[in-house]
Chain A
Amino acid sequence: MSPLQSPSFGSVADVTERLAAAGYLASTAVATTVFLADRLGKPLLVEGPAGVGKTELAKAVAESTKAELVRLQCYEGIDEARALYEWNHAKQLLRITASQGAESWDRTRDDVFSEEFLLPRPLLTAIRRADPTVLLVDEIDKADVEVEGLLLEVLSDYQVTVPEMGTITATRKPFALLTSNSTRELSEALKRRCLFLHLDFPDADLERRIVASRVPELTDALTDALVRTVRVLRGLELRKAPSVAETIDWGRTLLALGMDTLDDDAVRATLGVVLKHQSDQVKAAAELRLN
């Protein structure tokens, strides 16, 4: 295990405060789980619809703890060489040809499998850093099941085994955060190692504060109208419910168009900013009598 390491946050209130200073307004759920993940030294699995600020959370945690963010973006077909480490084959070949004949085989072999020829990828980088680190494994559900197996060792023991060099253990546990859009079910083994946070749309008050902090030029009345309207839209059965990011975009759009009230005309003209599917727009217009 890693040496004792003092937790980054003092209390849940402290988390809220410092995340807010980093520009992230956290709900109780977010603040509590971040606090616990830090305190218990467990990775945090954040699941939720797109656009509720999962990735932002990792950035804010990094900023508020003055840690470096190491990001592993998952995609279909990502493998060990992209996630963990890779040997620099070209350089190894160069090394072997440069010393041709001058060295014994044993020395050469030991030499080419050393630190110098190792290309660390995000997971190894995060494990080896001595300074505070936030490891963000983004969209883990996009990666294949095999990658989850790879993550198990990293996330439960914070160590990586390189067959030629031995096991590298973290000198300082990174704060690990995994995000998922739940396009597929993650394996039980991985889930068990993590704390789980379902990040949903914020409540009205919090969303109002988020919009106000992101688009400070908006008047309070307009922010209020925006947030209330978006909440009603979320209540409809839509293909893609508008997220916080869309609320913010909507605010910016209204601002750019110089509209200061959210009347029927304004909504009709700008509904495309919040609802990205034609069928959703038609449905919302019909149900909310926008004609």
Chain B
Amino acid sequence: MALLAPHGLPGHLVDFVAALRSHGVAVGPGETIDAATVLTALDLLHRDQLREGLAAAVLRRSGQRKVFDTLFDLYFPAALGAGSGEVEVPRVGDADDGDVDVDALRDILADLLRDGDDAALAELARAVVDALARTGSGAQGDRPGAQPSWSAYQALRVLSPETLLARIVDALRDPDIEPGSFADEVLRREIRDRIARFRDMITDEVRRRTAETRGREQVARTAVPKQAEQVEFLSAYAGQLAELRRTVHPLARRLAARLAVRRKHAKRGELDMRRTLRRSMSTGGVPMNPAFKARRPGRPDLVVLCDVSGSVAGFSHFTLLLVQALREQFSKVRVFAFVERADEVTHLFEPGAELSGVMNRVLREASLVAFDGHSDYGGSFGSFAEYWSDALTPRSSLLILGDARTNYRDPNLTVLRRLAGQARHTHWLNPEPRRQWGTGDSAALRYADVVPMHECRTAAQLADVVESLLPI
């Protein structure tokens, strides 16, 4: 069997730890030893206890849990092969290997979803994936010894659990509750959650079965979700976006906390020679009581210029989130958005404003588009310099967010150079990988000659960049 490690359980554990490391969970040898101790202290027959025990020993941050769970399921699977479930998949014509009776199956699924019976749902997922792979379109032709092909897409298409929503809600709804009321909406969302969980079960099950046939390592390499901090802004999909949003807020708070510490440490300034000598007059010229220059509390004065065109939507959303969080900490932050031209949007980022709405308001209320709605960096810098150049003072820092894809229009380097000269610092955050800079219509390299440009593709990189930039 390919699943058995050469060195028994310890070897298996080491493999598991190696897989965690390759997914960015830093597990040191000390933690591995802890994990091994955990194996001896726990009753291995309780899989959920083992899962929690190992998590306690090897994880150090809450964001790593999803990666851990997926890998745990791969390395410590709940069952081998089809398992022995209670749930039978209904077949057409009652033959054991006939085609799956989809309608009857959907009835069973609807009943289980209605009752919210997670254990039975997991068994159903297991049975369905198994049955569909053997009899469905995946195994057509019935070649003897053909590898069954596991497919979450196929299973979910056949079952299409989403279409059961209305039916389940109808079955559960109290007769007194009128449709469209609060209680009704709560119920609807609850069922939607259950359906989403069932989808995850199917995906997990397919991953497990694939690992059995194609080898664990290969599946671990490709099919394990990324930690939110490592997801790339530009390619994140809806679920990851929501998770990222949750990561960014604490990130900003953490940065703010660190800044506060730094500012506190820098409370005492350098020696004030003049006042020290003056004070020493009363002690006969001996400087008994040195005076220090009071350091002026540096008020960070931040001007953010942000590309909000469609191509960088994911990215600008998060940087704006960050800006909003910073706004709650700092007195002077001005935010400008641009597509073809720039407009001030600071007033939309009131502390406590609903963030998902802010982005829509930025696009709706600010005048950003002149002709076709494709980003025009040169024009935007020009309009910014024309109307708001007084926002930049020798004390302010200019932060530009965008992919520098000019759609082959004039990059207007002169204006940017002038803006950069007005500000104390200028930094550019680019959500594209460095190797793509300067390709196609990207003017990134030409801009990078004028202002320092940082690659900023993930929340982790964003944190690094902002931390090195601030305090400004």
**Interfacial chain B residues near A225, Cβ < 8 Å:** 183
Please state if B182 and A264 are interface contacts (CB–CB under 8 Å). yes
Q: B56 touches which one: A12, A195, A229, A290 (CB < 8 A)?
A: A195
**CA–CA, A155 and B182, complex, Å:** 50
Closest chain B residue to A271, Cβ basis: B182
Counting CB contacts under 8 A, is A219 at the interface? no
Cross-chain contact A183 with B250 (CB below 8 angstroms): yes
B354–A11 touching, CB < 8 Å: no
Taking a contact as CB atoms under 8 Å apart, the answer to whether B193 and A235 are in contact is yes
Which residues from chain A contact B250 at a C-beta distance below 8 Å? 182-183
Contact B182 A288 (CB under 8 A): yes
CA distance A239 to B325 in the complex (A): 12
Q: Which residues of A contact B183 (CB under 8 A)?
A: 225, 262-264
- The reply on A255 being an interface residue by CB < 8 A is no
Comparing A81-89, A112-120, A277-285, the segment that makes contact with chain B is: A277-285
The minimal Cβ–Cβ distance linking B14 to chain A, given in whole angstroms, is 18
Chain B's closest residue to A225 (CB) is: B183
Whether A40 sits at the interface, judged by CB under 8 Å, is yes
Query: With a CB–CB cut-off of 8 A, which chain B residues contact A95?
Result: none
Asked if B182 contacts A289 (CB within 8 A), the reply is yes
Q: Is the CB of A195 within 8 A of B190?
A: no
- Identity of the chain B residue whose Cβ is nearest the Cβ of A141 in the assembled complex: B257
A245 proximal to B (CB < 8 A)? no
**Cβ distance A290 to chain B, nearest Cβ, rounded Å:** 5
In this assembly, does B8 line the interface, its C-beta being within 8 Å of a C-beta of chain A?
A: no
A29 at the interface (CB under 8 A from B): yes
- Contacting pair A279 B353 (CB below 8 A): yes
- A235 lies within 8 A of B41 (CB): no
B31 touching A289, Cβ below 8 Å: no
Residues of A near B30 (CB, < 8 A) are 192
Q: Point out the residues of chain A lying under 8 angstroms from B52, CB to CB.
A: 28-29, 32-33
Contacts A36-B56, A144-B261 given; indicate if A277 touches B41 (C-beta within 8 A): no
Interchain CA distance A283-B42 in the complex, whole Å: 45
* Chain A contacts for B253, CB-based, 8 A: 183
Is B60 in contact with A196, judged by CB distance below 8 angstroms?
yes
The reply to whether the CB of A4 lies closer than 8 angstroms to some CB of chain B is: no
Chain A residues whose C-beta falls within 8 Å of the C-beta of B31 in the assembled complex: 192
Determine the distance from Cα of A185 to Cα of B30 in the docked complex, in whole angstroms: 20
A228 part of interface (Cβ distance < 8 Å): yes
Interface residues of A, dominant DSSP: helix
Give the chain B neighbours of A283 by CB distance below 8 A. Answer: 354
Contact of A198 among B49, B65, B254 (CB under 8 A): B65
Is B171 an interface residue, CB under 8 A from the partner?
A: no
Closest to B58 in A: A196
Distance A288 CA – B190 CA, assembled complex (angstroms): 12
Q: Which of B59, B186, B258 contacts A184 (CB 8 A)?
A: B258
* Interface residue A103 (Cβ < 8 Å from any Cβ of B): no
Say which residue of B61, B65, B261, B352 sits within 8 Å of A279 (CB atoms).
Answer: B352
**Is there contact, CB below 8 Å, between A289 and B53?**
no
User: Chain B residues with Cβ under 8 A from A54's Cβ?
Assistant: none
Is B182 within 8 A of A290, CB to CB?
A: yes
CB contact under 8 A between A40 and B34, given known A198-B65, A232-B186, A279-B354: yes
Q: How far is the CA of A200 from the CA of B133 in the complex (A)?
A: 36
What total count of A-B pairs have CB within 8 Å?
A: 113
Give the distance in Å from the alpha carbon of A241 to the alpha carbon of B354 in the complex.
14
B372 at the interface (CB under 8 A from A): no
Residue of B nearest to A30 (CB): B52
How distant is A193 from chain B, measured CB to nearest CB, in Å? Answer: 9
Knowing A191-B60, A196-B60, A239-B352, the reply to whether A40 touches B41 (Cβ < 8 A) is yes
CB of A168 to closest CB in B, whole Å = 26
Could you tell me which residues of chain B, from 23 to 61, have a CB within 8 Å of some CB in chain A? 28, 30-31, 34, 37-38, 41-43, 46, 48-49, 52-53, 55-57, 59-61
Contact call A28/B62, Cβ cutoff below 8 A: no
Q: Is the CB of B49 within 8 A of A197?
A: no
Which residue in B193, B257, B353 is a CB contact (below 8 Å) of A183?
B257
Nearest Cβ distance between residue B181 and chain A, in whole angstroms? 6
Q: Does B189 contact A (CB under 8 A)?
A: yes
Contacting residues, chain B, for A37 (C-beta < 8 A): 56
Are B354 and A289 interface neighbours, CB within 8 A?
no
Contact of A32 among B53, B186, B189 (CB under 8 A): B53
Q: Which residues, 86 to 139 on A, are CB-close (under 8 Å) to B?
A: none
Give complex CA distance A185, B48 in Å. Answer: 28
- Tell me the complex Cα distance, A212–B246, Å: 30
- Whether B185 contacts A288 by the Cβ 8 Å rule is yes
Contact, CB under 8 Å: A185 / B254: yes
Q: A192 contacts B28, CB within 8 Å?
A: yes
Question: A267 contacts which chain B residues (CB < 8 A)?
Answer: 182
A207 CB–B CB distance under 8 Å: no
Near A by CB (< 8 A), chain B positions 182-197 give: 182-187, 189-190, 193
Query: Any chain A CB within 8 A of the CB of B12?
Result: no
Tell yes or no: A59 within 8 A of B by CB: no
Q: Does B356 contact A (CB under 8 A)?
A: yes
A228-B186 CB under 8 A given contacts A12-B43, A182-B250, A198-B59: yes
Q: Does B245 contact A (CB under 8 A)?
A: yes
Evaluate contact between A33 and B56: CB separation under 8 angstroms. yes
| B242 lies within 8 A of chain A by Cβ | yes
Residues of B near A185 (CB, < 8 A) are 254
Binary A-proximity of B166-183 (CB < 8 A = 1, otherwise 0)? 000000000000001111
Chain A positions within 8 Å of B181 at CB level: 263-264, 289
* Residues of A215-257 whose CB lies within 8 A of B: 225, 228-229, 231-232, 235, 237, 239
Which residues on the B side are within 8 Å of A33 (C-beta)?
A: 52-53, 56
- Residues of chain B at the chain A interface (Cβ within 8 Å): 28, 30-31, 34, 37-38, 41-43, 46, 48-49, 52-53, 55-57, 59-62, 65, 180-187, 189-190, 193, 242, 245, 250, 253-254, 257-258, 261, 352-356
- Which A positions have Cβ atoms within 8 angstroms of B? 11-12, 28-29, 31-33, 35-37, 39-40, 42, 44, 47-48, 144-145, 182-185, 188, 191-192, 195-198, 200, 225, 228-229, 231-232, 235, 237, 239, 262-264, 267, 277-279, 282-283, 287-290
Interface pairs (6), CB distance under 8 Å: A32-B42, A36-B56, A37-B56, A183-B253, A232-B190, A289-B181
Excluding A184-B258, A198-B62, 19 further A-B contacts by CB distance (< 8 Å) are A29-B55, A32-B52, A32-B56, A33-B53, A36-B38, A36-B42, A39-B41, A40-B41, A144-B261, A182-B62, A182-B250, A195-B34, A195-B57, A228-B186, A232-B185, A232-B186, A239-B352, A264-B183, A283-B354
